[in-house]
Structure 1
């Protein structure tokens, strides 16, 4: 890794910084499409199958704060290796499962591991990358996860052809094993020192939350709304496609093209944030996503829905890494891992709460009303970023 910030290159740390994330995303992407099918094969109802799929997110939500404690205590490298091993055990449990609940336990373990893994990666990049390239590093981290999630299903499809549904879990297990092996090569970060040369004192989570309450309750909530909009996007598109009579193949095609647009924009987005400031990306990201979401009920065929979804993918793509970048900017040097654990907890609550809001509004009103209401969250987030996100490039 270069010692001079002026000559720093992301390429120099690409394997240790982004390799584990790519493989972890690949593993998760390999199993996501077949989790519900596996549950149904084991005799689960549709509602139970949906719950089992949701356990990935539930596990991540519950593990954010413990993940911060683990990474602080044992270091980022050990935390990542441990997360990869724990996820591998969860996948083996999925392979051996003879009941839906045993499958659910394995899925839950993968969700727990993902929180530890992603928090350790974010902390590593914040410390290892100079400030003037931070957004590019964070957007690339988000981008490699998306690439893995995008490619994983194709790899698992090939394995399923020869091995049945178990093939997807074997693909994921190999990916998790690779992530753990690559993580072994990642150096542990030296603890931050104070001005008198001693390690900075660690703050408890409650003390950290009190000390940084303002930024957590403003920009933190803003990024939670980003997470809510992103989570709802994955639900809204297939529901509305079914509502207007599109078949599964057409829906998958629309979703795939949207994902391709999303995946291609992560590095340019990071570069814009580094050169011009975070607001240049955060504001248009939320405006485009919010307006695109609200436009979905106006579509009536596959062409119009595709156009809107491409716009939605563009908005999400330019926002790649924005949640992690804003969190990194707001985090203190002393106790950074603890702060980022709290930050991820807030954003994950948004990611979990968005679909619940959509479901409730759809139940009491209509699907179109629920979609418009969720889209309006983008407008609220845009206002919050305009109000509290610093203009220009961060100076500290």
Structure 2
């Protein structure tokens, strides 16, 4: 097996040296997830679920990821990043097949939950691998590329799934995903082994989750809160555009076009943003990203038609796109070498908590007040995230290597 060496200098390292084995699995995993996300509620409905039940089944992906982050960190710490990704691909394949051959709604729901759990293991292992493999001076570019290729996969997946569904029916989406995650596992198996230029791994017992929480308590309560807010805004943006478009009376086709164009601009700006973070610092992207999303969401309730909504949606997509890899980069910056996987598990738990709470806050405020108020409140969360990260990132010192 080839080996890749990490050093503190970026001049002797190229992302191309690990591009296919490091980023390829993320692209394939994203295609698999993208293929099934639009059809999960349809499959649940076919099995007799109510609308509310179908929404709950979809939410099980997020629940599976949330509760699996800490176990995923322990698995990665014990078996290594490469084996963690391969194991996640195998678990995801089992989950996809469970969905295809589910005899009832409960079995199908269990398969969806396992998809989320596999995603947690895979995402944590790939982040941990790149943190170790890439020099700190190129870290943001690596993480933004990682986030970007995942988004490309999520964007392409529904189109590939739609083609196969047209040929073989609804189960075709799950077969697309099964093939994609299998290919991701095969590529992950050929990841180069890590040989760090920082020397041998730290000697002694690995810190426990409780010890890491105590040691980095201030960080989790400052930058960590900012990360939670970032994830809440990002997850909410996915439902804001369709809901407001429906509120304006736009057709489903117009809504899809607006949503798709927002996603397209999201994908186009990830690498330049990573270069800015590497050369200027994290706050140069963190603050503008969340400020732009916050302002765009505050303006969205003022839109009155397709054109103005499109402009607001494009601004949301641009703001989200330039922040690609931000949460992963910050997690990598602050992670200690001894206990890195466990630290990243806590970090991802914070992010997933925000991701789960964002749509819930939006739904609660919409039910209690109005949709426009809920969207504006989400925009205010974006501005709060910008202020929190802008204040605390320069005042908290990342781990030096």
| Alpha carbons of structure 1 residues 394 and 59: separation in structure 2 relative to 1, 3 Å | closer
**Number of equivalenced pairs:** 395
Question: What are the residue-to-residue correspondences of 1:21-100 with 2, within 5 Å?
Answer: 21-100=26-105
Measured against aligned partners, the alpha-carbon deviations of 1:248-296 in whole angstroms (never above 9, x if no partner) come to: 1111100000000000111000000001000000000010000101111
Contact 1:275–1:393 (CA<8 Å) still a contact in 2?
no
Contact 2:89–2:184 (CA<8 Å) still a contact in 1?
yes
Shift of 1:190: 5.5
Q: 2:360 matched to 1:360?
A: no
| Alpha carbons of structure 1 residues 191 and 59: separation in structure 2 relative to 1, 3 Å | farther
Report what 2:112 is aligned to.
Answer: 107
Report what 2:327 is aligned to.
Answer: 323
Report what 2:184 is aligned to.
Answer: 179
Measured against aligned partners, the alpha-carbon deviations of 1:4-29 in whole angstroms (never above 9, x if no partner) come to: 63221001100121111111111000
Of residues 335, 339, 344, the one that matches 1:340 is: 344
Shift of 1:239: 0.7
Report what 1:311 is aligned to.
Answer: 315
Q: d(CA) in 2 for partners of 1:17 and 1:26?
A: 15
Determine helix, strand or coil for the equivalent of 1:390: coil
Q: d(CA) in 2 for partners of 1:117 and 1:3?
A: 21
Measured against aligned partners, the alpha-carbon deviations of 1:187-246 in whole angstroms (never above 9, x if no partner) come to: 444689889x85353000000010001111110110110100011001111111100101
Question: What are the residue-to-residue correspondences of 1:1-396 with 2, within 5 Å?
Answer: 1=4, 5=9, 6-189=11-194, 199-390=203-394, 396=400
| Alpha carbons of structure 1 residues 387 and 47: separation in structure 2 relative to 1, 3 Å | same
Determine helix, strand or coil for the equivalent of 1:97: coil
Contact 2:334–2:398 (CA<8 Å) still a contact in 1?
no
Shift of 1:158: 0.6
| Alpha carbons of structure 1 residues 209 and 56: separation in structure 2 relative to 1, 3 Å | same
Measured against aligned partners, the alpha-carbon deviations of 1:160-198 in whole angstroms (never above 9, x if no partner) come to: 110010111110000011011111112444689889x85
Task: Report the RMSD for the aligned CA atoms in angstroms.
Answer: 1.8
Shift of 1:395: 8.6
Measured against aligned partners, the alpha-carbon deviations of 1:110-162 in whole angstroms (never above 9, x if no partner) come to: 10000000000000000000011000000000001001000111110110110
Shift of 1:392: 12
Q: d(CA) in 2 for partners of 1:77 and 1:86?
A: 14
Q: d(CA) in 1 for partners of 2:84 and 2:370?
A: 44
Q: d(CA) in 2 for partners of 1:216 and 1:191?
A: 27
Which consecutive unaligned segments of at least 5 residues does structure 2 have?
none
More displaced 10-residue stretch of structure 1: 253-262 or 73-82: 73-82
Q: d(CA) in 1 for partners of 2:350 and 2:6?
A: 34
